[in-house]
Structure formats: C-alpha cells, structure tokens
Structure 1
C-alpha cells in the first residue's frame, strides 16, 4: 500500500507538470529529499524517477519559462566554478573508484542548485518550493519525532523511512536539517499564502517545530544540541520581548529535563570532555592530519581523500578500580576515518581553492540575506513585507548549517544546496523588484517634469 501511494504521488506530480511544468521542479525536490525509490520495494524502484524528475525540471523550464529576465548571479558562478573544480580533482583523486561514486550524486546536487534560482521568478514559486522542502523533510521529521516521543530513539537506533545512513537520513544530518528548518517554518506561520496562517496552520507548525526539537534527542546527535543553542541565540535578534523569550526558553528547557533518557545525558556529557572521548579525539586527529595533507597537496586529493589517513595518539581513560577512579593513558591507532567536518572535507578533497570557493559561497549568502533584511524590513506595502522575514529565516538556516557542518561532512548536502538556491532566487527576485520600482519612479518623475513643462505659459 505504501509503495503504491508513493508511486502514484510521483506519477501524479509528473502528470500535473504537463499543465504546469514548474511542478516538475517541485517533484525533483520531493524525490531528492524523501528518496521514495528507496522506501518502496516494487513500483517506485522500477523507474529512475530521480533522473526523470531532474530532466523534466530542466525541460519544463526550457519549454515554458520566460528567458528574457533570466539572470546569472555571482553565487551561481561560484557554484559553477566549484562544480568544475570538483570534476578536475576527480582526475587526480587518490581513490578514483570511491571518488567516482561520490561524484555521481555531488554533480547533480550542484547542478540543481545552480538551476533552481532561475525557476523561482515569482513569490508563489519561491513559497511553493520552500513549502515542498519543509513538508517533505517534515514527513521524515514527524515520523522520527513520534518514535522518539514513544521511546524509540537512541544513538544510531532511531529507525527512519530509509535505514542506509545517507543523505538526510544520517542521524546528525537530520538533526541539523530539523533545526535549520525551524526559522522557515515560523515564516510560514506569518507570511504564507498557499496555506493562510490560521489556527490550523499555526497548530501544525507548532507540532512540526516540536518534532524538529525532538530529533536531536531521538538521534542523540551532539551537533543537534549545538544547533538548538545557536538557533536560540539567533532568534533573540527578531523577538519583540527578549526577557519573556529568555524566561520561556529557560522554563521549557527545565520542563524537558525530566523526560530526557539517561543515555542522552551520557552522550551530551562528552561535549565537555573532548580529551577523554575517543570519537572527539579521533576527529581532532583527522583534522590535524588534513592540515598536513593540504600542506603537501594544496589542490586537494579528490573525493574521499580521507581514506589514506592513519595516525596514533594517546588518550586519557578514566575507570573505576577498587572503588577509586583511576586515569591511565591509552594508545589509540586508527586509519581511514572520515573528515567529520565540512570545512576539512573541502580542504582535504578540493584543497585550498575548493575551500575558498565554498566559504565565499556561504559568506556572500549571509551578506546578501542581511542586505535584503535591512533594505526591505520597513516597507509599508503589504506585498513587500514578506521578503525581509524570509531573508532572515534563510540567513538563520545558513548559520545553523555552518555550525552543524563544522562537525559533519555535509559540504554537498542537497537540502542545504537547495536552501542556497532559495537564497539566490530571493535575492534575484528582490533585485528585479527594486529595479522595477526605481525605473517606475524615474518614469513618474520624467512624466511630471514633462507635464510641468507643457503647463508652463509661453513667454510673450
């Protein structure tokens, strides 16, 4: 039944796209996030639905969308440069076969991020794409949140729709995505037009946000706790009553403590004991190895270059012996450990050029969203009051992603590349509206001058 429902949903979106080709873009967002072809077992795996949706999205734009106003932005240029450079490093990759497997999905994620902004030419399209992203990820989040609430969570034990530890289904990635989506969910409760923000929408949004906050608990992802803390600090900028916000946040945090499992406390306690936690210690060793590797290979070693790492380090271990705590030094040898950081992932795989491109991409996005927020926040026209809050939400999501990315190898994560596409689309949309407004004001001024000149009496 589930397989049939997923298959019919995808086929329905493909058919609707014959009348409204933009729906094919939405179909690709849905398929790339949810991966219904991995959830189903007979019908959905029969066809390469992801590739079909990918091709249809481009075909729909080529056939039906106006091209006159299509603008190619600097950030799209950076994405193109990153795409080309990733292909270049593929040629000298340390592990060609592993690099080729990663390239199979990375190039598609980058190309779609470059393409997505050219389709987001209206408010309805921007909102529809964001809504599909939120609801599709929300399906995974709600399911995982319910299992957490019913006691089915735990580190590497939370069962999701797909149990292959990839894409959004990786526990720490899902925790980061969940918290990063909260600002966008809040935007829909104030400015949504597809579903008007009445009590039903706000109730659903509140429950979805609650599920988002449960994901770091259910996955016991330490990164998720950091992302929650960052989101709490960021939201101080926009709340009207900061004191009430701080009191409410503190009260909710205290109320939640008795319901957290003991395993969650034990795992979060390792945040303050990096030296004695093997996972954290190993990550630091990998990062140090990556710096040395980049010094010898400044242009990068291609995808999955981490497979060549090998190191030995000493770690203090505390154990109980005869009723007393004894600390001894343990020697740990490891090899082939993943980067566990997008910053070091880019440095190791794409070298300094790739890291600079990636950092520039995100830095420019944060600056652009701040510029939109400041330029549009005081507009009185009702049609110009949604842009600044959306820019703020996308900016917060980007910051949360960068915090999560510091401890995960998610530099090419498709969901966040889609959010970059939203940022570029919103920036282009706002720039066009500003240009049209300036041109209209100039035209009105010229017309006023012409009327004044024609009404001036002729000299005798």
Structure 2
C-alpha cells in the first residue's frame, strides 16, 4: 500500500509538471531529500526515478519555462569552478574506483545547486522551494521525533523510514539539518502565503520545531547539541528581551535534564573529555593525519582520500573501585577512517584550491544574507516585510550548518547545496527588484530645472 501511494504521488507531481514545469523542480527536491525509491520495495525502486525527474526539471526549464529575470550570480560561478576542480581531482584520485562512486552523486548535487537559482524568478517560487525542502525533511523528522518521544532512539539505533545510513538518514547529518531548518520553519509560519497563516499553521510549525529539537536526543548525536547551542545564540539577535529569553532557555534546559535518557547524558559528557570516547579520539587523529597529508599533497587526493590513512591514538578511561580511581590508557591503531568534518573532508580531498573555493562560497553566502537583512529590515511597506526575515533565516541555517559540519563530513550534502541555491535565488531576485526601483527613485529625486533668467529687454 505504501509503495502504491508513493508511486501515485510521484506520478501526480510529474503530471502536474506538464502544465507547470517548475513543479518538476520541486519534485526533484522531494525525491533527492526523501529518496522514496529507497522506501519503495517494487515500483519506484525498479526505475531510475531520481535521474528521470532530474532530466525533467532541466528539460522543462529549457523547453517551456520562462527565462525572464533569471540571473547567474557569483556564487553559482564559484560552484561551477568547484565542480570542475572536483572533476579534475577525480581523474587523478588516490582511490579511483571509490572516487568515481562519490563523484557519481556529487556532480548532480553541485549541478542542481547551480541550476536551482535560475528557476527562482518570483517570491512564490522562492517560498515554494523553502516549503518543499522543509516538508520533505519533515517526512523523516516527524516519525523520528514521535519514536523519540515514546522512548525509542539511541546512538545508531533510531530507526528511520529506511535502514540506510546515507543522506539525511544518517543520525548526525539529520540532527544538523533538523536544527538548521528551524529558522525556516519560523519564517514560513509567520510570512508564508502558500498556506494561510492561521492557528493551524502555527500549531504545525511549533510541533515540527519541537520534533526537530528531539532529533539530537533520539540520535544521541553530539553534533545536534552543539547546533542547538548555536541556534540559541543566533536567536538573541532578533529577541527584544534577551535576559528573559536566556533565563527561559536555561530554565527549560534544567527542567528537561531529568527526562533525558541516561545514555544521552553520558554521551554528551564526552564532548568535554574526548579522550574518554573512541569516536571523538579517532576524529582528532584523522584531522591531524589530514593536515599532514595536505602538506605533501596541496592539490588534494581526490574523493575518499582518507582510505589511505593509518592512525594511532590514545584513549583514557576511568575505573573506580571504592575510593580508588584508576586511569587506564590504551593505544589504538586504526586505518581508513573517514574525516568526520566537512572542513578536513574538503581539505584532504580537494586540497587548498578546493578548500578556498568552498570557504569563499560559504562566507560569501553569510555576507550576502547579512547585506539583504540590513537593507530590508526597516521597510514596512506592503510586500516588503518578508525579505529581511527570510535572509536572516537562511543565514542562521547556514551558520548552524557551518558549525555542525565541523564534526560531520557533509561538505557536498545535497540538502545544504539546495539551501545555497535558495540563497542565490533570493539574492538574484532582490537584486533585480532593487534594479527596477532604482530608476524610479532617481526620477523622483531629480531636482527641477531652474527657470531661465529673463532677457534684459523683457524687463523693460
């Protein structure tokens, strides 16, 4: 029954796209985030549905969609350069087969991030894109939040829609993305026009936000706890009574501690003492190896270059026996351990050129969203009150990702690249709006020419 429902939904989206090609773009967002072909056991899993909708989105835009207002931005150009460089390093990768496997999905994610802003020509399309991204992620987050609230979950044991440890179905990645989309959820509840902004939309937004906060507890991912702390700090900028806000957050946190699973609190304690946790110790050792590797390979080793590492690290564990506390130290040798950090992932795989391009892409996004926020925040005219909050929400989402990705290797995560595409679309759209208004303002402010002085004989 689930298989038939998913197939009917996807076919319905494809049918609607025959009249409105942009719906194929939204269909690809849904398919790339939720991956219904993994949930399906027969119909969707037997055809390359992702590739079909991918080609439909591009073909529909080229053949039938209007190109008026489409603008190619600087950040799209940076993604083009990054994609070209990733292709170059793949040709000379340390592990060609593994690099080719990763390249097979990275290039699609990068290409779609380049393409998406070209389709976002109106406010409705920008809002619809944000809405589809949030609701698609909610398809995974809501059942995970329900299971967590009912006592399920645990590190590596929170069963999501599919038994798959890739994409948003991986616990740490889902925790980071779930917290990052909370600002977008708030914006859609306040300024969204697709659904009426009544109590039903606000209740759903509140419930979805609460489910997002439960994800780090259910997955027991330390990344999620760090992301929550970043979200709280970023929220201070838009809060009027900051002292009261901080006090309430602190009180809620203290009240929630007794209800948290013991396994969750014990795992969070390893943030302070990474040597007591083998996973955290491994990450530190891999980061050191990557830094040494890039000194000898400044251009990077291509995708999955980490497979060549061999690391040694020390773990320490306390053992109590009555009043005596003994600390045992153990040397662990491991090999082919992943980066567990987007920064070291990019540095090890693409070297300094790729790392600089990726960092430039991220920092430029923060700057552009801040520029839009400041330019539009004091405008109160009709149709001018949604721009600054959306820019702020996208900026906060990206900042949360940049902090969370310190501990998760998601430099090429498709959802995050879609977020960047949404930022580029908003930037290009508002630049175009400002360009149309500028001539009008200049005409209004143009001083009237002075009347010519009368001729001497006219005074007589």
TM-score range, shorter chain: over 0.9
Give the deviation of 1:280 after TM superposition: 1.0
Q: Deviations over 1:375-427 (max 9, x none)?
A: 00011212111010000000000000001100010000011000000110000
Q: Distance in 2 between the 1:220 and 1:179 partners?
A: 14
Q: Distance in 1 between the 2:243 and 2:103 partners?
A: 48
Q: Deviations over 1:103-148 (max 9, x none)?
A: 1110000000000001011000000010000011011100000000
Match of 1:295 in 2: 295
Q: Please say if 1:268 is aligned against 2:257.
A: no
Match of 2:38 in 1: 38
Give the deviation of 1:188 after TM superposition: 1.1
1:275/1:60 CA distance change after superposition, 3 Å: same
For 1:24-63, list aligned pairs within 5 A.
24-63=24-63
Give the deviation of 1:247 after TM superposition: 2.2
For 1:397-436, list aligned pairs within 5 A.
397-436=397-436
The farther-off stretch of 201-210 and 249-258 is: 249-258
Cα root mean square deviation, aligned: 1.6
Instruction: Indicate the SS of the match to 1:340.
Output: coil
1:60/1:443 CA distance change after superposition, 3 Å: farther
Q: Distance in 2 between the 1:445 and 1:315 partners?
A: 70
Give the deviation of 1:254 after TM superposition: 2.0
Match of 1:218 in 2: 218
The farther-off stretch of 327-336 and 108-117 is: 327-336
Does the CA contact (< 8 Å) of 2:39 and 2:161 recur in 1? yes
Q: Distance in 2 between the 1:36 and 1:387 partners?
A: 33
The farther-off stretch of 109-118 and 250-259 is: 250-259
TM-score using structure 2 length: 0.96
Q: Deviations over 1:40-82 (max 9, x none)?
A: 1011112211111111111111123333532211100100000
Q: Deviations over 1:262-302 (max 9, x none)?
A: 10011001111112221111111100000110001000000
For 1:34-433, list aligned pairs within 5 A.
34-321=34-321, 324-433=324-433
Q: Distance in 2 between the 1:246 and 1:390 partners?
A: 23
Q: Deviations over 1:278-335 (max 9, x none)?
A: 1111111100000110001000000000000002233323223566221122111111
Q: Distance in 1 between the 2:84 and 2:179 partners?
A: 31
The farther-off stretch of 68-77 and 148-157 is: 68-77
Instruction: Indicate the SS of the match to 1:384.
Output: coil
Does the CA contact (< 8 Å) of 2:179 and 2:212 recur in 1? yes
Moved over 3 A (4+): 320-323, 443-446, 455-460
TM-score using structure 1 length: 0.96
Listed as ranges, the gaps of 5+ residues in structure 1 are none
State the aligned residue count: 456
Does the CA contact (< 8 Å) of 2:38 and 2:45 recur in 1? yes
The farther-off stretch of 111-120 and 311-320 is: 311-320
Q: Please say if 1:442 is aligned against 2:458.
A: no
